[in-house]
Amino acid sequence: MSGPVSDTMPTDESIVLQMVVGLLYPFMLLFGFYVILNGHYTPGGGFQGGSVLASLFVARYVVYPVDDTDTETLHSIQRVFLALIVIAPSAVLFTGVIARNPEFRSLYLTTMDVLIGVQVGFGLGVAVLRFAFFQGVGKTWHL
């Protein structure tokens, strides 16, 4: 597994850690979205799936602690989703869509789970990254 390693890569990281996180990363992503999308009839939901998504930021930070994530943009996206979380239930409640068409209930719950999941995922991820890189002088430092 000797691929080309870019020179921005911290070379003193454990190769085992890099391999394991690299292998698990897509499955963590998949699990996060599974938990979010099936939240309304299996265990899980928006918050749980969102925290799994936030752990992706942590996993990336553990193997590649470089402050190149645009936390400002992520924070803005998170605030948009927070607004949508307030707007969507109000709209559904006041328009009475669900009351008239009960077959939309599942779609509504899934939408809410996705909104909450993205909001929690980005929120926790931004919180962790901001904390980890706070007052960071050097570009790379390790735990």
Partner 1 sequence: MVEIGTILMMGVFAALAIHSKVLRLSIVYLAVFSLLGAFLYLLYAAPELAIAEAVIGSGLVTLLYLAALKRSRVYTVAVVGTGDRDRLADAYISHVERAKALREIRDFFVLREFELQVVFVPVSLDQAVLDPAYDLVVVEDDEGFSAYTEDESYVMLELEMMLRMRGEASMLRFGRYVAEGSE
Which positions touch partner 1 (CB under 8 A)?
A: 35, 43-45, 47-48, 51-52, 54-55, 58, 61-62, 124, 128, 131-132, 135-138, 141, 143
Sign of CA dihedral 37, 39, 40, 42: positive
- Minimum CB separation of residue 128 from partner 1 in Å reads 6
Q: Per residue in 42-78, is it b (16+ CB within 10 Å) or e — as a string?
A: eebbbbbbbbbbbbbbebbbbbebeeebebeebbeeb
By beta-carbon proximity to partner 1, the closer residue of 47 and 122 is: 47
By beta-carbon proximity to partner 1, the closer residue of 27 and 141 is: 141
**Cα-Cα-Cα-Cα dihedral of 39, 43, 121, 82, to 10°?**
50
By beta-carbon proximity to partner 1, the closer residue of 77 and 132 is: 132
What is the distance, to the nearest Å, from the Cα of residue 137 to the centroid of all Cα atoms in its chain?
Answer: 26
- Minimum CB separation of residue 64 from partner 1 in Å reads 14
Tokens of 139: 């570009």
- Minimum CB separation of residue 79 from partner 1 in Å reads 20
- Minimum CB separation of residue 16 from partner 1 in Å reads 17
By beta-carbon proximity to partner 1, the closer residue of 81 and 121 is: 121
